Structure 1
Amino acid sequence: MPAWSQEDEERLLQMVRDTGLTQREIAQKIGRTEAAVSARLTIIRKRAAQGME
């Protein structure tokens, strides 16, 4: 699977925020593994937390 693009991250966040789907369900819909979705969300959250410091 290719690296996550900004568009991929935005789609992921939108799905988490707006759909109520589990990480597993989101992974299936976007063609990534559950582990990849979980890891990317962790990265996004860490990035957001650093921006708030």
Structure 2
Amino acid sequence: MDKAKKYLSIYKITGDRVYLADAVKAELEEWLLSGDVDYLHKAMAVIRTAVEKEEQDAD
């Protein structure tokens, strides 16, 4: 999840959605490597929370 956090940090600074997509890809990669079915839901929750927080901060 470290790679995803890095991309989310860059996304917060730049606002460039490419980094958001990279964060999602990194989370999915971690999920695939882990073999944990629940990891996908956890990863989606982390990303969703970060995006919602960013949107609230922008308002």
TM value normalised by structure 1: 0.49
**Higher RCO, 1 or 2 (CA under 8 Å, sep at least 6)?**
2
TM value normalised by structure 2: 0.46
Higher helix share: 2
